[in-house]
Structure 1
């Protein structure tokens, strides 16, 4: 499954770069930001947790105000339950690697060479790398251990849909307020709760090679 998504991402990126050769310059950049993670857990109410992300990105022109902005990053997130439930998670902290084939629609045409607002949207696929978990035993006592991924445990893959509003300057500065809606239930254990993530993030980025 990992190989399939990696191949799909590489093919999409190659096709996009090839198509964009006659449409304009391709930019490369870095970005990072703070995240406030809200989780929907059917077992109990949860608290918001703090997280963050850092990664790299590309900006590939497509047509007029439309750009393909593929990104990869490392994303740190977590979940914390308000009450302890036997045989259920009460806390999760996780580091992911994410692949994000996003698109960006700018309010102003690039030929005007002006600062512009933009909308960013598209899917992402996250791969769980490592983490910590707290889960209650039969007696309701919390047990801390490394996060265990598996088809009958905590899910290693998570799909999200992103929607963001941003501002970009002519010298390469990029600001973005983003909402990510988790599409996957992260708990694969039979008869266990349903856990999905909702993330609000604020980030800053920079495109190399941009000049007024």
Structure 2
């Protein structure tokens, strides 16, 4: 493939630094992970946003989290033969093959995908709704959530409200997967909804009994 380029030098330098320090100091652990395979206790579905780093937030080591990232941490509804397979395949593998005990949806503040959804649904981003945008098509998953909250929050707080609605939407859609529902109802799997405030480092957890997010 003639368009591929060598890795940028600063990344090569960082790799060699990691290899000589972190890897060397924990070589037996990495070999064990390679030989015995992965056995994560939790799956985390988070946003692609580079500011959201779940392993750092929870101090996780290699092998602890099975992580899937996409725009706005969305899970589509169960739809065999549908258009959204990447996230659904990751959920299927985590629940069916890895037998994770926890499945966490991690939303966050200042989410660009959610901002795009607001702009698209309010008619201010025609480039997202013209049928050629992959982002626009993906954010259609959140349009029902936008319709639910658009009149309940003033413009200044709509962004944050919809970010949390995206987490609830994903939790709701997870329960449309038969294998997820079976695992939850049998007590083998628990679902968790989180929202992370990037600026002040806060973390909130969804309380389904109250329908609110509460500080952890």
Query: Which one has a larger percent helix, Structure 1 or Structure 2?
Result: 2
Normalising by structure 2, report the TM-score.
0.22
Normalising by structure 1, report the TM-score.
0.23
